[in-house]
């Protein structure tokens, strides 16, 4: 009997072992998840129920943001570390990677929560490193890269610190148009312009006249430098932004800041300028009333950078909700942001701690037509500015002049039901606007995300977004009559001549968002940061949206790229003189 029991026990163990072997997962499984621009697809190979290798099979994520995030996550998971956090600045792309990995693990019949969440992080040693340079640039947006390049070309040893895992800042995600009076395309089109006219246009917002004078006199040289030295490609046409007296704004290839950042980055690599990402500067070092460096937090500890000059180019504070609300009570949770997540006012706050003066912090620019989830500025919404469109609320009524100031429209939207507006246009306006194919990816994403509809009737549009159907039809009928008669009886829309009558019809769901902060550190014409008594803080320079005073109450479209270029060049050259 005992012998028989031992045989049965042995057979049972053998069967269990055999079952265990059969249940081990081997092979490759595909995982998918939606990212910012489309699906992220991974091939995940398993060996004995453990992840062997993860390969990116397909992705259309942004080269400079999402792609970098995915590459970092791939490197991490293929090294055996499955503690995957979202990467700041690329939330949608990193979420998509993690969700695609989880999808593949589930398809393999395994518990993704156990695999992804139960791995302990290695205890890394806290390190304090110290380096010595001539110039340290804090921030790697357009102003930072430009100032670094000019400092290096002037003979300085330069390092750039960037708190995010990617470079580019707000410049990267902007249209990057550049306002330059008397530029080569104006000459080609016989457009009469001048430095004085440009100054007059910018000065209307009440900015510092001395800084504006420097901006205007150097604007064209800055554009030529970007074209000739940095090899930025400009399109063979100009854009006419509101507030400008003439058409003078150059458009980069692809209508995107990627053209500027990619070319500037290439130049930094050519010059051997080191850019340290994921290095978050938090304090200026001051000795004998002179700024002599910065302290920064890194992944493994702290970095102390000793320098003869510091240039702050950390951008504005458009992504800092508390700082925004402290300076403008109208900006609350109902107002999103178009800004890079790195725009949290770091440089401004660091300089204030050592006595730097600030100006115009309450001057905050809003943009009315942005993504309802991310706050991203929507170029599809430019139909309002080019072909013509109207804005209605959930009740189907117009509530503001569609070509009013950005702030007027933005606050108008804020106080509608759900703080949402619906922008409506027809096929004629669509064709005049030439939104496609330039912004086809954005357009398709909006359609897929059900934030934009293309329909054959107003009834269908109203049903799609739950807008009051009868009011909407009456609103459109009334607008078409007013446009025919050449007088908007409701809001005196300053440009008529278009109607909403030719199918298909389009309706875009949108919210307002913070677009630019005009205020920041007070500087002089040489880009020196000033203290509250108007004195130069030795060793400290600033450029770009970190500074204030140039744009006054309202930044004109395309002037910010002029600003970062002109004062980035000035800051870099002057900072290098201390080497």
DSSP of 122-134: P-PPPEEEEEE-S
Residue 409 contacts residue 400 (beta carbons within 8 Å): yes
* Beta-carbon-side half-sphere exposure of residue 269 (alpha carbons within 13 Å): 6
CB 550 within 8 A of CB 211: yes
Q: What residue ranges in 449-531 does DSSP mark as E strands?
A: 452-455, 505-517, 520-522, 528-530
Catalytic residue chosen out of the listed positions 406, 407, 522, 555: 406
Integer Cα distance of 24 and 31 in angstroms: 19
Q: How far apart are CA 215 and CA 221, in angstroms?
A: 10
**What b/e string do you get for 446-455 counting C-beta neighbours within 10 Å, with b at 16 or more?**
beeeebbbbb
Q: Are 496 and 540 in contact (CB under 8 A)?
A: no
Joined together, the tokens standing for residue 556 give: 């004109």
CA distance 425 to 437: 17
What is each CA distance from 565 to 15, 261, 264, in whole angstroms?
Answer: 73, 12, 11
The closest alpha carbon to 171, from 347, 376, 406, 340, belongs to 340
494 is catalytic: no
107 vs 278: CA distance, rounded Å? 34
Distance, CA of 236 to CA of 220 (rounded, Å): 16
Which residue is it, tokens 């300028």?
273
Q: Indicate the SS3 state at residue 223.
A: helix
The count of C-alpha atoms lying within 13 angstroms of the C-alpha of 529, restricted to the half-sphere facing its C-beta, is 34
Cα separation, 219 vs 201, in Å, equals 14
Closest alpha carbon to 422 in 376, 460, 368: 368
Helices (runs of H) and strands (runs of E) counted in the chain:
18, 25
User: Under a CB-based contact definition with an 8 Å cutoff, are residues 28 and 104 in contact?
Assistant: no
Residue count of the chain:
579
The DSSP secondary structure of 402-422, one letter per residue, reads TTS-HHHHHHHHHTSGGG-EE
Extended beta strands in 1-65, E state: 27-34, 39-47, 50-58
The answer to whether 278 and 299 are in contact (CB under 8 A) is yes
Which residues form the catalytic set? 406
């Amino acid at each position: 009997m005992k012998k028989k029991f031992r045989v049965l026990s042995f057979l049972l163990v053998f069967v269990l072992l055999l079952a265990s072997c059969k249940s081990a997962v081997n092979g490759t499984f595909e995982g998918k998840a939606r990212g910012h621009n489309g699906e992220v697809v991974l091939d995940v190979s398993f060996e004995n129920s453990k992840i062997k290798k993860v390969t990116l099979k397909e992705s259309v994520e942004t080269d400079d943001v999402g792609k970098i995030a995915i590459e970092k996550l791939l490197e991490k998971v293929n090294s055996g570390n499955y503690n995957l956090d979202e990467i700041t600045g690329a939330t949608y792309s990193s979420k998509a990677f993690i969700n695609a990995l989880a999808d593949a693990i589930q398809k393999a019949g395994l518990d993704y929560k156990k695999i992804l969440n139960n791995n302990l992080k290695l205890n890394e040693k806290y390190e304090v490193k110290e380096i010595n340079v001539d110039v340290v640039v804090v921030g790697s947006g357009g102003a930072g890269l430009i100032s670094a390049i000019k400092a290096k070309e002037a003979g300085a040893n330069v390092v750039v610190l960037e708190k995010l895992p990617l470079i580019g800042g707000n410049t990267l995600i902007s249209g990057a148009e550049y306002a330059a009076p008397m530029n080569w395309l104006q000459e080609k089109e016989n457009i009469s312009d001048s430095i004085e006219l440009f100054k007059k246009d910018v000065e209307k917002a009440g900015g510092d006249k001395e800084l504006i004078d420097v901006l205007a006199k150097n604007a064209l040289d800055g554009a030529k430098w970007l074209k000739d030295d940095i090899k930025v490609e400009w399109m063979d046409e100009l854009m006419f932004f509101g507030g400008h007296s003439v058409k003078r704004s150059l458009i980069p290839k692809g209508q995107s800041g990627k053209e500027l950042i990619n070319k500037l980055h290439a130049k930094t690599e050519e010059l051997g300028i080191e850019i340290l990402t994921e290095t978050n500067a938090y304090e200026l070092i001051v000795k004998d009333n002179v700024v002599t460096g910065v302290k920064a937090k890194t992944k493994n500890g702290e970095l102390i950078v000793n320098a003869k000059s510091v240039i702050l180019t950390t951008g504005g504070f458009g992504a800092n909700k508390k700082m925004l609300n402290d300076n403008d009570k109208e900006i609350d949770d109902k107002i999103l942001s178009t800004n890079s997540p790195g725009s949290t006012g770091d440089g401004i706050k660091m300089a204030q701690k050592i006595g730097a003066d600030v100006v115009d912090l309450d001057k905050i620019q809003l943009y009315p037509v942005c993504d309802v989830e991310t706050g991203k500025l929507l170029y599809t919404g430019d139909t309002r500015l080019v072909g013509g469109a109207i804005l209605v609320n959930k009740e189907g009524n117009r509530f503001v002049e569609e070509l009013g100031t950005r702030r007027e429209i933005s606050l108008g939207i804020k106080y509608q039901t759900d703080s949402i507006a619906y922008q409506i246009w027809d096929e004629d306006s669509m064709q005049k606007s030439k939104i496609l194919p330039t912004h086809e990816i954005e357009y398709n994403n909006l359609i897929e995300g059900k934030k934009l509809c293309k329909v054959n009737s107003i009834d269908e549009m109203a049903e799609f977004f739950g807008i009051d159907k009868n009011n909407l039809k009456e609103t459109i009928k009334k607008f078409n009559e007013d446009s025919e008669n050449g007088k908007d009886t409701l809001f005196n829309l300053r440009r008529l001549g278009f109607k909403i009558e030719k199918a298909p019809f389009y309706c875009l769901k949108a919210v307002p968002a913070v677009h630019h902060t005009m205020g920041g550190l007070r500087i002089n014409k040489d880009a020196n940061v000033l203290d509250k008594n108007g004195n130069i803080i030795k060793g400290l320079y600033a450029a770009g949206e970190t500074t204030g005073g140039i744009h006054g109450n309202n930044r004109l479209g395309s002037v910010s790229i002029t600003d970062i270029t002109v004062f980035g060049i000035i800051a870099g050259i002057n900072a290098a003189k201390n080497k």
